[in-house]
């Protein structure tokens, strides 16, 4: 049987390991835990468009559009609760709830027009299923948002559970480790045998705090920040040669996955 990485297109110059290959610590690999936004799919442009339209209509920032850099610095990877406290610290909860309901409706419309996977994701998911690894999506996004993206990506039956932004209680979303610890508990997996995929600083911090090595999917401009947060490896996408070599070494021989999927937290 040919190994999967012998058949897939490979990028050979995009990854960086930091402090040794942290993935090797997780051998024999038991579970993969994925963030969604920016990690599984290219969603930031749709979030930015929705936020920018609403904030401009409200006269935020003097009516000037927010920049993508503003979004990455203050919104990426954060829960709506965290974003709301930053944008509108004096707003009552009811007004924040209405604002984010409108924002998520806009995001759903825009994402439906063009959300796409991070290159190589589908192959990684097939590989994980073939090896019978446990699988969870762990996100600061609202559950409806998370399920929308997973559905668009065609992965509704891939994940055995989804831990969403509202599942861990007020103030306990990423960068707290609680979402990842909850996923481990529900999967029946150990931190010592699990691996996290993330793209944001707060997400990397959460995975590391939960005791797991983290692979960060990040551009060169953000690499230093995710490394400072504790990422063991940085890749541009899932076609990376060094990533696949580390995964194959950590996972061992393939086996058929017969477990049920798509169980909510």
Q: Tens digits of per-residue pLDDT, 162-180?
A: 999 789 888 899 999 999 9
pLDDT reported for residue 147: 95
pTM: 0.84
- Residue 196: what are its φ and ψ, rounded to 5°? -110, 140
Say yes or no to pLDDT of 260 above 80. no
Percent of the chain with pLDDT over 90: 75
Per DSSP, 154 falls in state: T
Q: How many other β-carbons are positioned within 10 Å of the β-carbon of residue 69?
A: 9
pLDDT reported for residue 254: 63
Q: What is the mean pLDDT of the chain?
A: 88
pLDDT reported for residue 255: 59
Helical residues (DSSP H) of the chain, grouped into ranges:
44-58, 68-74, 80-87, 93-114, 121-130, 143-152, 178-187, 201-209, 223-229, 241-251
Q: Is the peptide bond before 175 cis (omega within 30 degrees of 0)?
A: yes
Catalytically active residues are: 35, 37
Contact 158, 129 (CB under 8 A): yes
Q: Closest Cα to residue 163, out of 148, 151, 175, 147?
A: 147
Q: Per-residue pLDDT tens for 210-252?
A: 999 999 999 999 999 999 999 999 999 999 999 999 999 999 7
| Helix, strand or coil, per DSSP, at residue 48 | helix
CATH 3.40.50.1000, domain 31-42+116-250, yes or no: yes
For residues 89 and 29, give the distance between their C-alpha atoms in angstroms, rounded to a whole number: 43
CATH 1.10.150, domain 44-113, yes or no: yes
Question: For the residues 88-111, what does the mean pLDDT come to?
Answer: 94
Burial class (CB in 10 A: 0-12, 13-18, 19+), 73: exposed
pLDDT reported for residue 252: 77
Q: List where CATH 3.40.50.1000 sits in the chain.
A: 31-42+116-250
Q: List where CATH 1.10.150 sits in the chain.
A: 44-113
Say yes or no to pLDDT of 6 above 60. no
pLDDT reported for residue 193: 97
């Amino acid at each position: 049987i040919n190994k999967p990485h012998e058949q897939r297109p490979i990028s050979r110059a995009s990854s960086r390991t930091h402090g040794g290959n942290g993935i090797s610590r997780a051998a024999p690999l038991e579970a993969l835990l994925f963030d969604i936004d920016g990690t599984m799919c290219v969603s930031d442009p749709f979030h930015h468009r929705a936020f920018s339209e609403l904030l401009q209509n409200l006269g935020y920032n003097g009516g000037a559009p927010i920049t993508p850099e503003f979004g990455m610095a203050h919104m990426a990877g954060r829960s709506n609760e965290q974003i709301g406290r930053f944008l509108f610290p004096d707003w009552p909860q009811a007004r924040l709830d209405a604002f984010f309901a409108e924002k998520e409706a806009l995001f759903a419309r825009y994402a439906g027009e063009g959300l796409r996977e991070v290159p190589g994701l589908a192959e990684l998911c097939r590989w994980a299923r073939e090896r019978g690894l446990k699988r969870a999506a762990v996100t600061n996004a609202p559950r409806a948002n998370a399920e929308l993206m997973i559905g668009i990506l065609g992965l509704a039956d891939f994940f055995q559970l989804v831990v969403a932004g509202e599942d861990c209680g007020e103030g306990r979303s990423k960068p707290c480790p609680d979402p990842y610890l909850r996923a481990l508990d529900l999967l029946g997996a150990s931190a010592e045998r699990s691996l996290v995929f993330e793209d944001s600083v707060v997400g990397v911090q959460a995975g590391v705090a939960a005791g797991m090595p983290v692979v960060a999917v990040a551009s060169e401009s953000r690499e230093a920040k995710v490394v400072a947060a504790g990422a063991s490896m940085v890749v541009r996408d899932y076609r990376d040669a060094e990533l696949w070599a580390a995964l194959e070494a950590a996972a061992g021989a393939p086996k058929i996955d017969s477990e049920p999927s798509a169980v909510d937290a």
